[in-house]
A and B are shown apart, each in its own frame.
Chain A
Amino acid sequence: MERAKSRISSSNLLRRKVGQGIAFGLFWLAAAVAVAALLFIIGYVVVQGSQVINLAFLTTRPAGGVSGEGGMSTTIVTTIYLVVLVIAIATPLGVLAAVYMVEYASEAERESALARWLIRIARSGVEILAGVPSIIFGLFGFALFVSFMKLKFSLLSAGLSGACLVLPVIIRTSEEALKAVPRSYREGSLALGATKWQTVVQVVLPTAAPGIVTGIVLSVGRVIAETAIFWVTLGGSYRLPTGLLSSGRTMALHVYMLASETRAFDKAMGTAAILIVTIIVINLLINITSRQLAQRVMGKQ
């Protein structure tokens, strides 16, 4: 009891306050080091990289070779193609899966034990998939799409592998968005005589749309930032892809290949700078859409 009292008595208040000052001072220092390190790295790359960026750099294609001549135009276009492909494959699959989990699963769980078991392994599947590192997705894509299905290094292999990668993200965010739709919406629609499916398509999905879009934008950011998975499924061709089965190179891959195969570190910095700016813009988009979503939800309340 004496010891406990001595920990909080007024006599050692000064000592305790000094201890707090030291501890908090260290924390501020540590946090400042962490944030400063991150910002310094980003800032350094952007500043160094912007020295290389001009219109020619952005619209001419890489010329290959050890000196790393040329620009990065084909990498920008390939990245856009890949993003669109991944989103086109993963979004319907992910959103529909989330719709089932939120709207139909509880009913099915009540009906049969088989359904309960299926739904449980479906949920754990999403969790497991979310934790797999991207090189494993790359390896899997290499084994299944590039070798087994003989799609070779192509946009299609990379797109399918990338869709597997972002599927958990889309399922999770869509589930959140769908759960946030008030029950009264669904009940009102059903009371008017609509079927469950009609309710989902015409009432629930449009209301949940901003949240689902946030998930899609998150996946876009993920695809742009990923390297390992596309290194193993897309190949490294610096030419413009002419179809779904042609090889290509994304911006992140271009940075890696310039840095490891050529001496053109300045061009690598330039590409990296463009990458960083793109991610920042996408992040702003995410913030805007999620703020819109929050406003909507609060407006209803």
Chain B
Amino acid sequence: MSETSEQYKDIPALAGDRRPWVVTAIAALFGLAAIAAVVGGLLLDVRPAVLPVGGTIGPLETALAGLVIAGLCLLVAWGLWRRRNWARTGVLLLLGLGTLYYWLTILFSVSAQIFGGEQVSPWGEIGAAVGMGLLRAIAVGLVPGAIIYALVRYEPAFEDNPGQRTFIDHAVRYLLLATALSAILIVFLIIAFTVSESWEAIREVGVDTMLLGTVWRPGSIIGTEDAQFGLVPMIVGSILSTFGAVVLGVPLSVSAAILLAEVAPPLVRETVRPAIELLAGIPSVVYGLFGMVVLAPLIRKIQVPYNSGFGLLNASIVLAVMIIPTITNIAEDAIRAVPRSYKEGSLALGTTHWQTIRDVILPAGRSGIVAAIILGIGRALGETMALIMVIGNSIAIPKPLTDNPLTLFLSSARTLTGNIAVEINYAAGAHRSALFFTGVLLFIMIMLVNTLARGFMRRRTPA
């Protein structure tokens, strides 16, 4: 065995039982580092400083730290010398993460130089900054990079026994279960923290006062004792704006869904469907900006007193445009999921395409379409920033501006989501707690909506 190993000692893959000289060199390097750590710990003159977690650093602590680091380095050196896998993985991780961290700090400082200024940096400066950054990156990465390269190349030289593999297998199993539970852990944390933060409001103000009170006047703004935390104006605002969005958006999106699924030629479908998926990802602030800059002046043209252009109508239009992609996508999938045999049977009986759609396909796909609409409602209820920009944010319950009840939609309002976002940054005490209660309320409402939608999705006709 040793003769063949002699022959192939320079080929990493066949190194087998031999220890490559490179690995010995790296082990020796760590040994040297151990010595350096001990010496440095003893000799380094660190001014006594206070740690953020309490306690001070003095000469004793540095010496101790040096000894600990030396011990670790010796351990790693021994592990490498004996070609243990844990040593190799440990060194790779340590050096890799350390180099990445340094490269990140270099990136931070270079971008600060290029982008942080008040005037445009001349190209020469930009080039100099980038060049210096690259040089530093290479300098920092040279030695660790060489070590990493050597360890990766000489991987077969490190032992690989079955006992070690099964240990890793079992350890991994439990670690992965923990990550799988992370989502439910986050849900639990969300519920725990929002409820605990809202407890002060529940205790002092009372759930009934908040849910049924019609005046929202947080004392912290006025500075008086009589703060009132009634959420009814916001609940009405949320419901009305969602209602408006549904009235405007659902006919348009369901029509588009039917069109795309049944009527439109393939070419139209190929272009429009990806376009709608793209539009679903546009940031909501863009729509809010449009509502502020274009829709508000337009709406102001309606001659009604106190019409500012910002209000429920503006919000309904903006929301409707935002939920169209959501509803269209899901409804179209639902319509496509109706079995072809239904459609073919109906057509075979002599009905027109429209009769088939109206009397056969739509009833069959009804639960999927309803699920799509409910999901759109959920999206509308959860929308925050775009609505803040266009809805006016008044604290009063929306009322029609004139005798015409339709002018209700011209009045200003505020939604539950907007309430949270507008006031959270400066709220304190019971006010802040009441805002968290708003969040809990919102959470419950949207959970109910989503569960309803899921129930409808499950009742779909099986394909």
Contact = CB atoms under 8 A, between A and B. Distances in A.
Contact of A101 (B180, B190, B292, B325): B180
Interface size range of chain A in the complex = 35 or more
A104 B177 contact: yes
Nearest to B119: A60
Given A125-B187, A227-B284, A256-B389, A136 B290 contact: no
B148 to A, nearest CB: 18
B176 interface: yes
A228 interface: yes
B111 interface: yes
A35 interface: yes
B401 interface: no
Interface stretch (B165-173, B301-309, B334-342): B165-173
Contact of B184 (A27, A122, A134, A139): A122
B371 interface: no
Contact of A255 (B183, B276, B285, B350): B285
Contacts of A100: 176-177, 179-180
Interface string A216-241: 00000110111110011000000110
A134 B382 contact: yes
Interface string A100-133: 1100110010000001001101101111110111
Contact of B420 (A28, A139, A197): A139
A42 B276 CA distance: 12
Contact of A132 (B165, B352, B388, B443): B443
Contacts of B117: 60-61
Contacts of B114: 59
Interface in B257-277: 258-260, 263, 272, 274-277
A45 B290 contact: yes
Given A24-B263, A44-B294, A124-B184, A34 B384 contact: no
Contacts, number: 289
A96 interface: yes
A132 B259 contact: no
A16 to B, nearest CB: 5
A198 B354 contact: no
Given A44-B294, A60-B118, A37 B194 contact: no
Interface of A: 7-10, 13, 16-17, 19-20, 23-24, 26-28, 30-31, 33-35, 37-39, 41-42, 44-45, 55-56, 59-61, 63, 70, 73-74, 76-77, 93, 96-97, 99-101, 104-105, 108, 115, 118-119, 121-122, 124-129, 131-140, 142-144, 148, 164, 167-168, 171, 195-198, 221-222, 224-228, 231-232, 239-240, 242-243, 252, 255-256, 259-260, 265, 268-269, 272, 275-276, 279-280, 282-283, 287
Given A7-B351, A30-B256, A227-B385, 4 more contacts: A27-B258, A31-B252, A31-B255, A60-B118
Interface of B: 108, 111-112, 114-121, 165-166, 168-169, 172-173, 175-177, 179-187, 189-190, 193-194, 197, 251-253, 255-256, 258-260, 263, 272, 274-279, 281-290, 292-294, 321, 324-325, 328, 349-355, 358, 378, 381-385, 388-389, 417, 420-421, 424-425, 435-436, 439, 442-443, 446-447, 450, 454
